[in-house]
Structure 1
Amino acid sequence: MKESVLDVLMYLFENYMDGEFSDETNHETLRVELVGAGFPEDEVDHAFRWLDGLAEQRRNLSITGAPGAIRIYARSEQARLSRECRGFVLYLEQLGILTGLTRELVIDRLLQIEDDIDLERVKWVVLLVLINEPGAEDAAAQVEEMVYYDGDFLH
């Protein structure tokens, strides 16, 4: 079975406290453990680049706009994110789980995944973005519940 970057990130989430895998000083130790657990080295490296990219995007991204503004997706984004995935992101934003900033971080991080993007992957990326977002603990807990316990949200 070919492991993907998201598989590595999910493993990190499920087996380590978020401070452990978000802290760059732990990356080398975690890299050794992940390769020892059977993950391909290139996917482990990609996972840490993904986390580093999340931190960099958070520092560089500034969102301004009126509350209730609608996000228009570029054609390239629409090609990668199905209507169901885009609808789920909008649903989370309408619930107040995602802000304009975290929505953009989610979209950016989704587009960095080389695999096909389905609703399950969107849920995981949202969770990973929120657990790395200061002050978003309640929102992350809600999404974690969705990932592990809830069924189909949109129907």
Structure 2
Amino acid sequence: MFEVLVFVYENYWRGDACPQPEQLGRKLSAQGFDAEEIRDALRWLDGLSLATQGVQLARHADEATATVTLHGIGDAVLPQSPDSMRVYSMAEQDHLGAECLGFIRFLESSGVLPAGMREIVIERAMATPGDPLALDELKIILLMVHWSTGIEPDALVLDELCDDTTDRLPH
């Protein structure tokens, strides 16, 4: 499924540029993807579309941080307090694993993953198979959430999400 998501990310500039699911399914099939992978990816993309439907981005005056505002059916979700802490359920801990949870925390503490977007990322990560989720798969999910919302990630974040760290030497 993740190979299909990467193909979609690389070939469609934004989520709103992506064709309808039926047409996308035909294009993916023509590219040689397995029918089951296509079905899983289309189902996942449909859930992503629903999750990001009411997302709005607001930049603070200093332009260094962003706030993601989620709108439900007529009501805005209250923003997270700076003193609050996200507590992960056992199912989330098991599915995401320590490496993914640490990466999410790193992005949060860096100010590049607002609480609203974090919740979308976690919800979409929980909709994927496999325990625990691999860090590379979480990075794909993060890219797809940005892609779907039209919120372009910071250049350093994009580099972190797309960088292959297997050849990186630790200092």
The alignment's TM-score, normalised by the length of structure 2, stands at 0.74
Q: Give the percent of matched residue pairs that are identical in Structure 1 and Structure 2.
A: 32
- Where structure 1 has 5 or more consecutive residues not aligned to the other structure, the ranges are none
State whether residues 20 and 26 of structure 1, in contact with CA within 8 Å, keep that contact through their aligned partners in structure 2: no
2:57 matched residue in structure 1: none
SS of equivalent to 2:32: coil
Q: List per-residue Cα deviations over 1:37-95 (Å, max 9, x = no partner).
A: 11122221221221221222234493532024221100011111111110100111111
RMSD: 2.4
The yes-or-no answer on 1:148 pairing with 2:162 is: yes
Which has a greater percent of helix? Answer: 1
2:23 matched residue in structure 1: 29
- Report the CA distance between 1:103 and its aligned residue: 0.3
Max Rg structure? 2
Cα separation, 2, equivalents of 1:115 and 1:63: 32
1:50 is the counterpart of 2:20? no
- Select which of 4, 8, 11 maps to 2:4: 8
Aligned residues: 145
Distance in 2 separating the partners of 1:70 and 1:105: 16
C-alpha separation between the residues in 1 aligned to 2:49 and 2:141? 14
Q: Which runs of 4+ in 1 moved over 6 A?
A: none
Unaligned runs of 5+ residues in structure 2 are 55-71
CA positional deviation for 1:142: 3.7
1:132 counterpart SS class: helix
* Structure that is richer in strand per residue: 2
Q: In the alignment, is the contact (CA less than 8 A) between 2:99 and 2:135 conserved in 1? A: yes
Cα distance change of structure 1 residues 54 and 48 upon mapping to structure 2, 3 Å threshold: same
